[in-house]
Every structure is written in structure tokens, then in C-alpha cells.
Amino acid sequence: MEPEFLFELRVCRWAERAWTPADPDDAVLVARQLGVRSRRWDTLILECDPDGLDARAVFGDERLDSDLLHVVRNAPGSYAYYRDALPDPGYGWRYVREAIHEAADRGLVETRRNGNRIELRRKYRYPDWVNRVVAVENKPDLSASAARALGDQLERDVALGLADEVWVATRATGDDVAPALYERLPVEAGILAVGDGVETAWNATALAVAEPGTRILDRPSGGEHDRSAARFEYVSPEWKADKRREIAERAYERGWRSFLDTMRPDCRSFEVRDPDTPLPYCTAKGRHVTAAECKGSCPEFAPEPPAWRSKGWPVDGGPGKALRRVLERQRARRR
Ligand code: SF4
């Protein structure tokens, strides 16, 4: 049976090619394994304003973390003392100063000294480039217990309303069991049945991302003698907007082919088979491999032969490096 990791890459590839954004003019950007706090989503689909995405590109490939976003989004059009220009961050100003220096080093804002004071002004306006965020949970083998655990998790996602939609991608089984399991998931969650193609088994409901959300901290087990109350807290729309921006920034930096960063494309046995769905394949093992197997401690790892490095290498790198460059180029093109 296909490991979850490969299933996840397949879903990412499908999303990149076939996801239909709510606004047909929007660009689609896919990333994997991103989230906030303890919640990490398997696949994230960002529906992006194409002009906004272009405007975002001038800030470079690296993500802007929350401190940098605070500086870049609030930097004034003409030079001003940073404490006058930026809203109170709610944390120490010294962290703001550090972020201003980092932003200046990265060419994102301009700074100058006026006596003891640091003044800044913006170079570019940070755009609102993400219109919608869609979270997909990949669960190829949806057993009864997996559906129960997933149902609980998705209810929390729905209550929080950080993503515009939440979906579950599961292997199409073609039997009668799946619909019964689907009923254990919240009705707001969409269901994708993944076989040779991908079918929508249930459509997702749009969540209220601009409204306050509810974070479920604890909930009763629901047993006969359980009289405990659920514990929850509210989160503001502003908090959600900030988190959505941070997630989008990480997705922008990372994309979904970043699995290569943790694998060994420089191993002589490493290949990417099926250019349509670039799944990592190991010729030594004779099958597709996961990131957990294909790493430095793999007993079958063998570096690329030196001869592979003769033509212009090692400056340009061997086939592993070349492969990485091709995939990086693809990722850049899609941006
Ligand atoms: S031999 Fe090991 S390190 Fe090399 S490609 Fe196969 S799994 Fe990866």
C-alpha cells in the first residue's frame, strides 16, 4: 500500500494542476506540512491574486515572519522615527528594532539615523496577495477510528475558521463503507476521493474567516458519567488575518517540493520518476521511497560517482543538484 507521504505528494500535484479557485483568475500555490501552533495541515492550497503575487515577489523568495510583516506592512512612505511610525507591537520594541535591521539588510525597507533615532521608510507596499486558504488533511486509509479522530480535529478547524475551507483527501475505495465513514466527519468538511483521478465526494462549506473564531481547548469525552464542560476561547478576526499571512508567507517560501530538502537527491540511486507527478524513486530499493527512508543514515546511500561531476561540476553540482535546480525553477515559475 502506498505510504501516506507519497499519497500526500500526489494530492499536492493534483491540487497544483486541477484545483479550481473560487475566482477563476486567481493563481494557485500549493504547500505541504504547514500550520500554526500545534496544528499542522498536510496540504495547503492558496488562491492568490495574480497581481498581488507579482507584487509579493519583490520581497524575495524567503518568507517574512510575523516581526518582519509588522515592519514591512506599517513602514511609512517617507522617513519617520520608527516608534512614531509603527503601531505598538504588543511585545518589546527591541524586537522591532531587530526586525527593522533585518528588513533593511534584506532590502525590504530603507533606514537612516537621525541622532540616536532610527528612522525608516518603505521601499515597496506589501500587497494583500492571498484571497483564500484551503486546508487539506490527507488520510489515505480512512478506518473507523481514523475517521473519529479526524472528525474531532476537523470540528476544531471549523470552529476556529482560520482556513476558508477544510477538506479530507482519502483513497477511493469503491465500496459501501466509505459513505458511512464520511458521516463521522463534520458536514462543513469537503471530501476528495483519490483514485486514478480525484473526485469530489462531498463539497466543503465556506468558513467565516472574517468573523471571530472559537478555539476548542478541551472537550468532554461524552461518556455516560462525563459531566465536565468544554473549555474554549475566542480568537479575533485580526489574529486570524495575521496567522493567515504568516502561513501564506511560509507557503510562499516552501512550496511542496521542499521534500527534496530532507531527502538525498545527491545519492546515485535517487530518481524522480514520472515527471508528471515527481515522486521520489530509489533504484537501489526498486520502488518509490519516503523522506523517512531516504536520508543520510540510509545504509544504501552512495554519493554520485565523481565522473558525474566532470562536466562543469562540482561548481554546478551533479545530477542531484541539476534535478534540484529543475524543480526549483518549476517552483519559481509557478510563483
Ligand atoms: S539508496 Fe537510500 S539514500 Fe539513496 S536514493 Fe535510495 S533510499 Fe535514498
Q: Indicate if ligand 1 lies below 6 Å from the C-beta of 298.
A: yes
Instruction: Label residue 303 by pLDDT band (50, 70, 90).
Output: confident
Residue 275 has a pLDDT of: 59
Q: 180 and 234 share a domain? A: yes
- 287 has a pLDDT exceeding 80: yes
234, 90, 39, 158: CA torsion to nearest 10: 30
- The domain that holds 94 is classified in CATH as 1.10.10
81 within domain boundaries: yes
Q: Indicate if ligand 1 lies below 6 Å from the C-beta of 284.
A: yes
Q: 24 and 144 share a domain? A: yes
Which is higher by pLDDT, 332 or 105?
A: 105
Residue 62 has a pLDDT of: 93
Q: 133 and 247 share a domain? A: yes
Instruction: Label residue 177 by pLDDT band (50, 70, 90).
Output: low
Question: Residue 36's beta-bridge partner residues?
Answer: 39
Q: Indicate if ligand 1 lies below 6 Å from the C-beta of 41.
A: no
For residue 267, report the distance from its CA to the centre of ligand 1, in Å. 6
56 within domain boundaries: no
Residue 145 has a pLDDT of: 86
Residue 276 has a pLDDT of: 63
| Mutation choice for ligand 1 from 6, 264, 293, CB with most ligand atoms inside 8 A | 264
Task: Give per-residue pLDDT as tens, 66-83.
Answer: 999 999 999 999 999 999
Q: 233 and 177 share a domain? A: yes
Q: 206 and 246 share a domain? A: yes
Q: 158 and 239 share a domain? A: yes
Which atom of ligand 1 sits closest to the CA of residue 296?
3
Q: Indicate if ligand 1 lies below 6 Å from the C-beta of 243.
A: no
Mean pLDDT, residues 91-119? 96
Q: 152 and 294 share a domain? A: no
Q: Indicate if ligand 1 lies below 6 Å from the C-beta of 285.
A: yes
Q: 163 and 221 share a domain? A: yes
Which atom of ligand 1 sits closest to the CA of residue 289?
7
Residue 318 has a pLDDT of: 47
Q: Which domain holds residue 273?
A: 258-334
Closest residue CA from atom 6 of ligand 1: 282
- 162 has a pLDDT exceeding 90: yes
Q: Indicate if ligand 1 lies below 6 Å from the C-beta of 293.
A: yes
With contact defined as beta carbons under 8 Å apart, do 234 and 160 qualify?
A: no
Q: 108 and 230 share a domain? A: no
- CB neighbour list of residue 24: distance below 8 Å, 6 or more residues apart: none
Which H, E and C letters describe the chain, residue by residue?
CCCHHHHHHHHHHHHHHHCCCCCCCCEEEEEEEEEECCEEEEEEEEEECHHHHHHHHCCCCCCCCHHHHHHHHHCCCCCEEHHHHCCCCCCCHHHHHHHHHHHHHCCCEEEEEECCEEEEEECCCCCCCEEEEEEEEECCCCCHHHHHHHHHHHHHHHHHCCCCEEEEEEECCCCCHHHHHHCCCCCCCEEEEECCCEEEEECCCCCCCCCCEEEEEECCCCCCCCCCCCEEEEECHHHHHHHHHHHHHHHHHHCCHHHHHHCCCCECCEEEECCCCCEEEECCCCEECCCCCCCCCCCCCCECCHHHHCCCCCCCCCHHHHHHHHHHHHHHHHC
With contact defined as beta carbons under 8 Å apart, do 161 and 153 qualify?
A: no
With contact defined as beta carbons under 8 Å apart, do 4 and 30 qualify?
A: no
Which is higher by pLDDT, 313 or 98?
A: 98
Q: 45 and 194 share a domain? A: yes
| Average pLDDT of the chain, as a whole number | 87
| The last residue of a domain, from among 107, 122, 137 | 122
Count structural domains, the chain: 3
| Mutation choice for ligand 1 from 266, 287, 293, 294, CB with most ligand atoms inside 8 A | 294
59 within domain boundaries: no
| The last residue of a domain, from among 254, 272, 299 | 254
Task: Give per-residue pLDDT as tens, 105-118.
Answer: 999 999 999 999 99
Q: 166 and 271 share a domain? A: no
| The last residue of a domain, from among 224, 254, 284 | 254
241 within domain boundaries: yes
Mean pLDDT, residues 331-335? 61
In the chain, pLDDT over 90 holds for what percent of residues? Answer: 61
Which atom of ligand 1 sits closest to the CA of residue 271?
5
With contact defined as beta carbons under 8 Å apart, do 303 and 268 qualify?
A: yes
272 within domain boundaries: yes
297 within domain boundaries: yes
Task: Give per-residue pLDDT as tens, 24-63.
Answer: 999 999 999 887 777 889 999 999 999 999 999 999 999 9
Q: 94 and 218 share a domain? A: no
